[in-house]
Structure 1
Amino acid sequence: MFFRQKKEEVRPRIAAVIPAAGSSTRMGTNKLLLPLNGIPVLARTLLAFEQCPLVDDIIIVCREQDIAPYGKLAQEFGCTKVRHIVRGGQTRPESVLAGLNTCEPDTAYVAIHDGARPLVPQTVIEEAITAAMDTGAAAPVVPLKDSIKRISDGKIIADVARDSIAAVQTPQCFDRALISTALKEAIAAGAALTDDCAAVERLGTLVTATSGSYRNLKVTTPEDIPMAEALLNQED
């Protein structure tokens, strides 16, 4: 009796695009090279995607002067999935598009993640990617903790129901063709985008909300460094 061998299902190629081209104005120095318990912010971000089994490639998008330092950083911390480090554009959409254009031709999905979010949990990455493969677009969100008010002329005029809003995080994950088209059209129209989801929303595409994490904070100001280190110390 002969048994037919089951054909192994081939997973689509997935790339993580890491925008890291900001000037860190509010920090006063390159925040991505600041240490968090001895490991630079960007290195922690890269390692999160290096360790994700769903991610095949990592593309870093940064300023011209940061290409060499970031390349050295990736080598030092064994980030073997880093395929390219490319120069960003004048705006975030232009920078993200530069990263998308550098992905391998057969890349089907992309996870776009802020370089300054070094504590992103694996569960957040994997849930967003999996949802994007099902629906074409997904992003992690967390509920807001504070009461939300609508303001007009310096006065509180109304409550906003917290169950109808959320704070969006990254990685924001998409079908590569969808987000490429969306960004090109947004750039051509001069549209002001608050994030990458806004680009596909312009096309009428709904973005699936997945579970974010309060640990997935964005390092923006000096006060965020001790907060991130405190979160890391909780793991020890």
Structure 2
Amino acid sequence: MNKAAILVAGGKGTRMGAPISKQYLPIGGKPVLMHTLQIFYEVDPSIHLILVLPASDFSYWKELCQEYGFNIPHQLVEGGNSRFQSVRNGLDSITWAEGLVAIHDGVRPFVAKEVISNSFLEAEKSGSGIAVIALKDSIRKLGDDGKSCYQERQYFRLVQTPQTFLLSKIKKAFQVTEIQQFTDDATVYEHQGWQVSLIAGNPENIKITTPEDLQYGEFLLSQSKK
């Protein structure tokens, strides 16, 4: 079955406080995005890699690829004004009628290979495979009256990416008008009345957002080389 991965990287990274967007910052000697593309390529070199970037960044990204000698094949697609629109642009660039597509945050370079593989396997079986992890901390629910109440954490999961789907179903799901409730791709899929299937993610699969995340990422890379 045809496989694709849409890596979404349209953010400006204002919380990083850096002069360039977070997806281009170096970690372990090369930009974050290159690590993310590489891990998907190592899982399966036949996966069609789609990198969604702001059109204004295309030339800069190509310069980075040349500077770092990065030659993993991938297709550049112009992002939209929101994550929803960027993912839809990525989906629209896929020409096959059927297959599987993983949608992943470009700034999550530490996703485990088995998580990627399992997301494709689950999506092929049930239509979707969404990476999640269990909570470690206690949680409380805040009410409109300012009061809070205890919640059983075993009934909750933190949602990560990849979120992998049958191509025909997720393409249909993204044909609707964007609404505020679409917080990720799974919620767009659920809007059609379809149930999502969950798979185990990995705790290291952080979304790099702050300088502290970069420092933790350097630590993870140093540990992987031991």
Report if TM-score (shorter chain) is over 0.5: yes
Structure 2 residue matching 1:120: 3-state secondary structure: coil
Aligned pair partner of 1:216 in 162, 185, 205 = 205
Please give the alpha-carbon distance, in whole angstroms, between the structure 1 residues aligned to 2:147 and 2:210: 27
Task: Kindly provide the amino acid, as one letter, of the partner of residue 69 in structure 1.
Answer: Y
Please give the alpha-carbon distance, in whole angstroms, between the structure 2 residues aligned to 1:86 and 1:121: 25
Query: Contact conserved, 1:109 with 1:133, CA < 8 A, in 2?
Result: yes
Change (3 A) 1:55 1:166: farther
1:25 Cα offset (Å): 1.5
Query: Contact conserved, 2:36 with 2:107, CA < 8 A, in 1?
Result: yes
Matched residue, 2:138: 147
Please give the alpha-carbon distance, in whole angstroms, between the structure 2 residues aligned to 1:170 and 1:125: 9
Query: Contact conserved, 1:49 with 1:55, CA < 8 A, in 2?
Result: no
1:152 Cα offset (Å): 2.5
Change (3 A) 1:54 1:138: farther
Please give the alpha-carbon distance, in whole angstroms, between the structure 2 residues aligned to 1:64 and 1:103: 18
Q: Deviations over 1:83-139 (max 9, x none)?
A: x20111111111101001112324511000000001111011000111001011111
Matched residue, 1:124: 115
Structure-2-length-normalised TM-score: 0.92
1:183 Cα offset (Å): 1.4
Once the two structures are superposed, the pairs formed by residues 1-236 of structure 1 within 5 Å of their partners are: 12-29=1-18, 30-53=21-44, 55-74=46-65, 76-80=69-73, 82=74, 84-152=75-143, 155-187=146-178, 190-236=179-225
Please give the alpha-carbon distance, in whole angstroms, between the structure 2 residues aligned to 1:176 and 1:136: 9
Structure-1-length-normalised TM-score: 0.88
Query: Contact conserved, 2:97 with 2:168, CA < 8 A, in 1?
Result: no
Structure 1 residue matching 2:207: 3-state secondary structure: coil
Query: Contact conserved, 1:149 with 1:156, CA < 8 A, in 2?
Result: no
Matched residue, 1:9: none
Matched residue, 1:6: none
Matched residue, 1:5: none
Q: Deviations over 1:21-76 (max 9, x none)?
A: 11112113311111112121010001011111275210111111211232344562
| Cα RMSD after superposing both structures | 1.7
Q: Please identify the structure whose Cα radius of gyration is greater.
A: 1
Task: Kindly provide the amino acid, as one letter, of the partner of residue 137 in structure 1.
Answer: S
Change (3 A) 1:136 1:73: farther
Q: Which runs of 5+ in 1 are unaligned?
A: 1-11
